[in-house]
Every structure is written in C-alpha cells, then in structure tokens.
Amino acid sequence: MPAAASNAIKTYRMMEYVRRFTAEPAAVQQLVLADPGQFFIVAVEQLYPLFTQAVPPSRATGHSLVYVTSGQARMSIGNDSYTVGPHEMLIARAGQVYSFEPGDMNTGFVCHFHDAILLGQAAPADAQVPFDFLHFWGRPVIELPAQTAEFVGQLLHRLLVEYTTHGLTYPAVVRAYLLALLHELNRAHSTDEPAPLTAAAALTNHFKHLVASSLKTTHRVRDYAEWLNISPNHLSKCVRRVTGKSPARWIEESIVLEAKVLLFQSKWSVGEVGAAVGIEDASYFSRLFRKHTGLTPLAFRKRHTPS
C-alpha cells in the first residue's frame, strides 16, 4: 500500500480569503471577530452578498458548515458539485478542495471551526475529533429530519448570539454549543447513511482514498489496481459504473484540481506546480491542464488574480 503523500498545497486562513475575494473586507471584519481561524459563525445572508467574484479551488485550515434555512447554496467540493436547500447541512472538511460562485439567494448560517477549538489546549498533538462525518470520504451533505433541523437551527442561533456578543472570550461556552451541534449532526449522519454499499461502490471509494493520498507520486491506473488486488479492467468497470468516469479520467481531473489550488494559492512557476502534482514535464502538464479547463495554467492564474 502507498504511503500518504506530503501535502504541498497551503491552506487559507480566513482573513487572507476575505481580503482577496470580498468587495468590502471591512464589512466582513465586523462580522468575523478575533481569531477567525479558530472559530466564527455568521448569517449566510450577511456574508454571501459580500463575495462578488467566483472563488477558485481553495483549501482552508478548518471545517466549514453551511446550513440553509431558505433558498439554496451551491458549492463544488473535490470533483463534484452540490446544491443544498432548507434542512440540509453542507460540509467542507478541513483540507478538502472547494470552490463556489456568487449569486445564491438564501438565509441560514456559515460556521467555520478548527479542530483545536473542539479539542482544547490540553489535547495531545495527534488527537482527532470524534466525529466520523468530519473524516468520511463521501457525500458532504447531511439531510436533517424536521425535529433535528429545529434543534440544529436553535444551536446555530445560540452560537451566533454568543459569538456576536462575546467573540471567543468564553471558549468553553462556544465549545459546549459546538459539540452539541456536532453530536446532532453525527446522529443525523448515521441515520442518513445509504443502504450498504455495493461492492463496486466500496471499491470506488477505496480507489478515491488512494488517489487522494498518492496523487503526487502515482498516476497509473494499473498501480492502483495492484494495490486493490484487482485487474485494471475490473477497476475500470467499477469506477465507471459508480462515477460515470474512467479511473484515468478521475486521476487526471484530480491532478488538475490540485494544480488549480496551487496556481491560485501559491506563486510557484508552472513547472513547479506541475512537479508538485507529480508531472515533471511542464509542457505535458500545460497540455493536460488545458485539456480539462480550456485555459493554460498561466491564463487560469491571471483570471483569478485581482488586477
């Protein structure tokens, strides 16, 4: 089995993000108080209108929860796009690649938090939060039953009141409400899980895990098939059946997605970006990037660089 590849792609802290993508950074700073990398919560209808341009693929250091009470919210997470409406929670987990377009009309809450706010200062350095839905490689949407949605809405409102009144002056209070919220979501996630996965779906999920951890060093379908102890042909049939894409296409799209993040969040040259996603030939990297985006790497970077 492959070792996990090192992650060269940096992650954004909240105020870097705000300065780059909102028309009114000062307005956001009034909503997002001290140390937003640890925790913040704002009303969707106050935050979303301040984003006036598309946010390209990015990573953040914490988890983001988007809960809609009316309207809808759209976001791309990984290689897939999602739309959520009332009584649905959309989760962008820490380290996941996500992007979104402006223009959604909705109400609700955006809650962002780092693992550290849950674990506290006394937690061991290698401690992990005890919620499967924050680690699970799967659909990042939790559909909430009516009663649970009511509880979740109340908890988010109470967190918003606490945060706007006191910021993080009383972290134990914030942690208590946040833990209650996450326990409600975890219970809903457990009951919302689909029927047991078919063999093809389970194999495809395992393939996605391997691609995510080994993308920098391994691009050949036959290597992934070997790690899974199956033939390349069987892997291809399973992945196509579940995703509608071939394993090679999935790998290529994952390479391009990683490259988009680097082009946006770093100042590396095209050759350095290509090498970081495992392609040493800068010319081949540029051709692959253009094949999937219609843009050269430099044109993509220029499009998402403020003038």
- CA atoms of 208 and 215, how far apart (whole Å): 10
Question: pLDDT higher for 28 or 14?
Answer: 28
* pTM, entire model: 0.77
Q: Each residue of 210-266: pLDDT tens digit?
A: 898 888 899 999 999 999 999 999 999 999 999 899 999 999 999 999 999 999 888
Residue 127 above 50 pLDDT? yes
CATH class of segment(s) 14-190: mainly beta
Could you report the per-residue pLDDT of 133-164, keeping only the tens digit for each?
887 666 799 999 999 999 999 999 999 999 99
Give the model's pLDDT for residue 52. 79
DSSP string of the chain? -PPPPP-----B-HHHHHHHHBS-HHHHHHHS-S-TTTEEEEEHHHHGGGB-S-EEEE-BSSEEEEEEEEE-EEEEETTEEEEE-TTEEEEE-TT--EEE-S---EEEEEEEE-HHHHH-TTS-TT---S-GGGT--S--EEEPPHHHHHHHHHHHHHHHHHHHHHTTSSHHHHHHHHHHHHHHHHHHHHHHPPSPPPHHHHHHHHHHHHHHHHTTT---HHHHHHHTTS-HHHHHHHHHHHHSS-HHHHHHHHHHHHHHHHHHH----HHHHHHHTT---HHHHHHHHHHHHSS-HHHHHHHTS--
More confident residue, 281 or 126: 281
Positions of CATH 2.60.120.280 in the chain? 14-190
Asked if residue 161 lies in contact with residue 212, where contact means CB atoms within 8 angstroms, the answer is no
Pick the range with the lowest mean pLDDT from 35-39, 200-204, 258-262, 302-306: 302-306
Q: What is the pLDDT of residue 7?
A: 44
**For domain 199-303, which architecture applies?**
Orthogonal Bundle (1.10)
Identify the pLDDT of residue 147: 94
Per-residue pLDDT at 126: 63
Q: Is the pLDDT of residue 271 over 80?
A: yes
For CATH 1.10.10.60, list the domain ranges present in the chain. Answer: 199-303
Measure the CA–CA gap between 248 and 22, rounded to whole angstroms.
37
Longest dimension (CA), the chain: 59
